[in-house]
Every structure is written in C-alpha cells, then in structure tokens.
Amino acid sequence: MSDDIREQIHTLNKLQTVEDKLHQLQIELNQVDTNLTQLDSQLVQSLQEVANLSGELEAIRKTYREGELDIKVNQETIAKSDAKLRQVKTNKEYQATLREIDELKRKNSALEDELLGLLDKIESTEAMLAEREKRAEQRKNEIVAQQNSIREEAAKKQAVLGALQAERSDITTAIPKSLMVQVENIKSLRGRPIIAAVSGAICSGCNMNIPAQLYNELQRFDSLKRCPMCQRIIYWNDLRSE
C-alpha cells in the first residue's frame, strides 16, 4: 500500500508540474494578441503623426496659394484704378482713387511679407515631414519584425502546449477516476496547487499547521490525506517520496 500511495503522490506531482507549465504557457499565449495590438497601436500612432504633419503642410500651402491669389486680385484692381485715374474729373475723386491704390499696395506689401514667411515655413515643414516619414518607415519595419518574432515564438509555444497537453492526458489516464474527481474539486475550490508537501507539520499549500496525529499518519503513506484547512492533497516531504 505504501508503494502505491507513493506512486500516486509521484504521479500527482508530475500532473501538477505539467499543469503549472500549461498555466504559464497559456498566460504567455494569451498575452500575444495584446502585444500585437499594442504594436499595431504604435504603428498607427507613428503613421498618424506623419498624416498630421502632412495635413499641416497642406494647410500652409493652401494659405500661401490664397495669399498669391489675393495679391493677383489686388494687382488687377490697382491696374484698373490706375486706368481710372486718367478718367476722373474731380480732385476729390482723384485723391480717393490714389488712396485706394495706396491701400491695395500696402496690403500687397504685407501679403508679400507674409508669403515669404510662409515659404520659410513650407520649407522647414517639408524637411520635418521627410524626416518624420523616414522615422515612421524605420519604426514600421521594426514593428513588423517584432510582430513576426512574436508570432514565431507563439507558434513554438503552441507546439510545446500541444506536447504538454498530450503529456497531461497520459498522466491523467494513469490516475484513478475517483482521484481525478478529487483533483478537479480541489482545483475548482482552491486552484493551484492540487497537492502540497508537508514539512515540520506545515502544509506548503496554505502555510498552516496540520494536527500532530495527521502529520504522523502522513509518514506511514498508507492512504492519501487532505489538509483540513485548504483541502489539498498532502504528503510527507521526505526524500523517499520525491
């Protein structure tokens, strides 16, 4: 009986080790989609920065074109006013036309100064956009490489997961159904671990002291015992039970 119990403890420990690995792998695989989504967000942000700056540049160019058009319209009006000067008949009308021409020339001068500033801004923004596009392309390549690496690593982990699941299936086949019922009950009640070593009368599953009589019974290995506090399967942690 002692050897049978030791063998069951050994098998349950193997099951727990495999399930711990499965649990960790599943956590890592569950993180894959999150990591890929975060990288996608970084890529979108990088491309959005380029799009925003491109929009700013187009707005500056539009303002420049509108300024050019305003200057052209003013120049046409000045030409008409110059022609009008030769036709006016009163001094008052002549002076008014001159003021109109001077005002249009003043506006054009201000517009020309503004256009010079806009030209400088267009040039600097174009240079900034080119640099940002270059960085965005580099970042895109980095992100794609990271995503490919994550997918490759995930594929490897999936393969390991499959192997561990097959190993778990083999282990559970060797465990009596009645014991597997207990194992599943423990997992639903307490989670991992399902089996805990006891050293110095302390259950490693809940870190609580077990009764002295139960501790003595554990050392006989005559049957599987449960911790009265956490309900996990417990065993005496001597070298022979490893």
Strands 225-226 and 202-203: unpaired
Q: Report pLDDT digits (tens) over 37-75.
A: 999 999 999 999 999 999 999 999 999 999 999 999 999
Domain containing 208: what range? 180-241
On whether residue 208 sits in a domain, the answer given is yes
CATH at 95: 1.10.287.1490
Q: Which helix (H) or strand (E) holds 5?
A: helix 2-85
* pTM reported for the whole predicted model: 0.69
Residues 128 and 221 in one domain: no
pLDDT of residue 191: 85
β partners of residue 236: 198
Residues 186 and 164 in one domain: no
Residues 134 and 199 in one domain: no
Phi-psi region of 43 (alpha: psi -120 to 50; beta: other; left: phi over 0): alpha
Residues 55 and 76 in one domain: yes
Q: Report pLDDT digits (tens) over 74-89.
A: 999 999 988 888 888 8
